[in-house]
Amino acid sequence: MNRFSSIKNIFLLIYISLTVQVLCNNTDSLSVLFKRNIEVDSIIITGNERTEPDIITRELTFKTGDLISKQDINFNRERVYSLGLFNFVKMFSVSDSGKSNIVIQVDESWYLWPLPVWDIEDSSIKKLTYGMVLLYKNFRGRNETLSAEVGFGYDPFYSFSYYNPWLIQEYNISLKAAISYSTITTNSISARIKAGKNFEFKNINFLFQVGKRINLYSEIFITSGFNYIEMPDDLKKLSTASGKRIDNVVNLGIDYLYDTRNLKQFPDSGLVALASFNNSGFGINNINFSTLFLDFRNYMSIIGNLTGKWRLASRMTFGNNVPFYSYSYLGSGEKVRGHYNQLREGNHFYLASAEIKYPIIKEWNFSIKLPLIPVSLTSYRIALFTNMFFDTGATQFKNETISTRSFYSGYGCGLSVLFLPYNILRIELALDEHKNVEYIFDLGFSF
């Protein structure tokens, strides 16, 4: 590089820096720079003190030499947000001698989190599980995640996991490994009836998953695992797969994911299609059953800022002796609003949801400086949305017939408050078929 080129690049960086400062707190003004499609001459990333640049660029749908529009910029900005690593993301063009440089400015979030966790079964304080999770995100600047959890109370547990979305860069290979130990009070109604009481069982789980990213939107995963299930001494043969007090279950599964969402934490465009098949036991100790999970979600613009989404999902189990701990449940994990904590079980469940939402505050980049607290802990992308929804679902045992009468439903409205990249608070009012009122306070988006 000659001296003239070096001086030219220095002036370009100064110009970019000044532009960033002018536009820093006004995301709407960024679109002014996109009056027409432009050709990308270079991609410049700023603000990434820990995150390596290729972690960001691998999420982009464009590269140098491509022709892009304002819509492309908006979509890719949300894809970078979806990494969950940044408080703020800004993306715009800076022109120099007729060439367009795409600038991606990120503000990194706080990555080491001790967080409380809790769960209350049947809305009873006597059934409270409480604990702590230590979460280390963006470990080594490669978007890796280390997680350690401990829980006490009703269902005590311990777990540790490691996730690397880009273990082998050349082949786009990901890795997830996890181990957990828990003592679980069964939520299976049929198992309680057979036992004549509530009971606990021990569960030790090992999981090892390798993924292959086929392209920007498609991934395939191979998952292997092992489950150790130990029943109480006085319930030696209750609903286990082997007919013994202890089940040693080997698992092998395959998943396919197609995901074109813009902002994965709270999308308003794109779709998700997931198919997951898992086989357990392979005949060892007479254990042999399978599960199939299908999930389809569509997110779309309706008119103006009004957006909608809908979902169809089902989990099905197959085999002559499916144990209670592998049943399909609604009311635990997957829920029907209006019957939020009402537990239903079966070999299969079927779930459908539809929702529309409208922004009261679409996006507000909030940041405040406090003594002794890093700014990365007090900076958030805040939004406030109101929504209306309808959910319906049903469960089915293997020998049961299912009809429209098998489904139970709920509808209502609510508010969602986003504190990205950290979490979403939902406050909702739901009614069931008989207009019984239910109030929902939960974290995370509905689907």
Q: What is the DSSP string of 341-354?
A: T--EEESEEEEEEE
Does the structure show a pLDDT above 50 at 348?
Answer: yes
Element (H, E) at 210: strand 200-213
Instruction: Give CA–CA dist 187/346, Å, rounded.
Output: 12
Does the structure show a pLDDT above 50 at 437?
Answer: yes
DSSP per residue, 18-39: HHHHHHTT-GGGGGGG-SS-EE
pLDDT the model gives residue 240? 87
pLDDT the model gives residue 98? 67
CB distance 401 to 369 below 8 Å: no
Residue 240, phi then psi, degrees to nearest 5 = -80, 160
Question: Who wins on pLDDT, 233 or 260?
Answer: 260
Residues facing 163 on adjacent strands: 145, 176
pLDDT the model gives residue 20? 44
DSSP-derived 3-state class of residue 70: helix
Rounded to a whole number of angstroms, the CA Rg of the chain reads 25
Residue 231, phi then psi, degrees to nearest 5 = -90, 160
Q: What single DSSP character describes residue 387?
A: E
Which residue spans of the chain are classified as CATH 3.10.20.310? 3-108
Confidence band, pLDDT 50/70/90 cuts, at residue 3: very low
Instruction: Give CA–CA dist 385/424, Å, rounded.
Output: 11
Instruction: Give CA–CA dist 231/238, Å, rounded.
Output: 8
Instruction: Give CA–CA dist 427/360, Å, rounded.
Output: 15
Element (H, E) at 425: strand 423-432
pLDDT the model gives residue 236? 63
Peptide bond into 114 cis (omega under 30): no
Instruction: Give CA–CA dist 272/261, Å, rounded.
Output: 7
**123, exposed or middle or buried, with CB in 10 Å at 0-12, 13-18, 19+?**
exposed
CB distance 393 to 352 below 8 Å: yes
Confidence band, pLDDT 50/70/90 cuts, at residue 7: very low
Residues ≥6 apart with Cβ < 8 Å to 293: 274, 275, 276, 277, 313, 314, 315, 316
Start-to-end C-alpha separation, the chain? 51
Instruction: Give CA–CA dist 38/47, Å, rounded.
Output: 24
Question: Who wins on pLDDT, 333 or 247?
Answer: 247
Question: Who wins on pLDDT, 87 or 99?
Answer: 87
Does the structure show a pLDDT above 50 at 202?
Answer: yes
Residues ≥6 apart with Cβ < 8 Å to 163: 144, 145, 147, 174, 175, 176
**Residue 45: how many other CB atoms lie within 10 Å:** 19
pTM: 0.88
Does the structure show a pLDDT above 50 at 24?
Answer: no
| pLDDT digit string, tens, across residues 173-193 | 999 999 999 999 998 888 888
Q: How many residues does the chain have?
A: 447
Tokens representing residue 221 in the block: 């995963």
DSSP per residue, 223-237: EEEEEEEE--GGGTT
Question: Who wins on pLDDT, 64 or 31?
Answer: 64
pLDDT the model gives residue 1? 46
Question: What average pLDDT does the segment 192-197 reach?
Answer: 86
pLDDT the model gives residue 31? 40
Percent of the chain with pLDDT over 70: 91
| pLDDT digit string, tens, across residues 233-255 | 887 666 789 988 999 999 999 99
Question: What topology does CATH give the domain 3-108?
Answer: Ubiquitin-like (UB roll) (3.10.20)
Question: What average pLDDT does the segment 105-118 reach?
Answer: 90
**Residue 61: how many other CB atoms lie within 10 Å:** 13
